[in-house]
Amino acid sequence: MFFAIKFEVLNTMATFDHIKIIREVYDAMHAAAYAAIPLEACGLCGGVGNTISKFIELCNDDASTEHYTMKPEEQFAAIRKFRADGLSLRGIWHSHPTSSAQMSAEDLRLAYTEDVIYFISSVMPENEYELRGYLVELDKSYEIRIEVV
Ligand SMILES: [Zn+2]
C-alpha cells in the first residue's frame, strides 16, 4: 500500500484522456518489475501535467509476491527528489508477478490518493509484458491510455 500522505492539490488528472511516459521511465519500470520476480516491486513517478519523466523504485517492505508496502521515509525522500527537479508526484507504480495488469480488489481498496495514476506492470510468466494505468475516484478505477514518448 501507499501510505496516505497529504500532498498539495494539483490540477486533477481526470481532465487528461491519456498519460505520457518518457521511454527511460517505461524501461526502468519494465526492468524493476522483472528484477523483483518473484516479488512485487513498487515505486513512485514524478512529472509535470500529464507527462511522467522520472521513476524512483522503492523497497517493497512486505517482500511479498502479492502485495507491497512503501516505507514512508522512502516516499518522502522520493517526493523531495521530484520537487528538487521541479516535478510533482504523478504516479504510484507496482508490479504483478503472477497476475495481469488489472487493479486487484486490494489495489482498489488501498488507492487512497487521488490525482495520481496507479500504474501496474504485469510480468506474468509466459505472457507479454504489460503496463497499464488507472485513475481512481470513489472506489472505482478508470483505465487511462499510456503513450510512451
Ligand atoms: Zn496490485
Gap from CA of 120 to ligand 1 centroid (Å): 7
Domains of the chain: 13-148 (3.40.140.10)
Q: What tens digit of pLDDT does each residue of 55-86 get?
A: 999 999 999 999 999 999 999 999 999 999 99
Phi and psi at residue 45, to the nearest 5°: -120, 135
User: If pLDDT is split at 50, 70 and 90, which confidence band does 104 have?
Assistant: very high
Gap from CA of 110 to ligand 1 centroid (Å): 10
Global pTM exceeds 0.85: yes
Gap from CA of 59 to ligand 1 centroid (Å): 15
- What's 24's DSSP letter? H
Is residue 7's pLDDT more than 70?
Answer: no
Q: What is the mean pLDDT of the chain?
A: 90
How far is Cα 34 from Cα 74, in angstroms, rounded to an integer? 21
- How high is the pLDDT of residue 8? 40
Is residue 101's pLDDT more than 90?
Answer: yes
Gap from CA of 104 to ligand 1 centroid (Å): 5
How far is Cα 129 from Cα 12, in angstroms, rounded to an integer? 29
Gap from CA of 101 to ligand 1 centroid (Å): 8
Question: Which CB contacts under 8 angstroms, 24+ apart, belong to 57-61?
Answer: 57/28, 57/32, 60/36, 60/94
Q: Which residues contact 9 (CB under 8 A, 6 or more apart)?
A: 115
Higher pLDDT, 10 or 147: 147
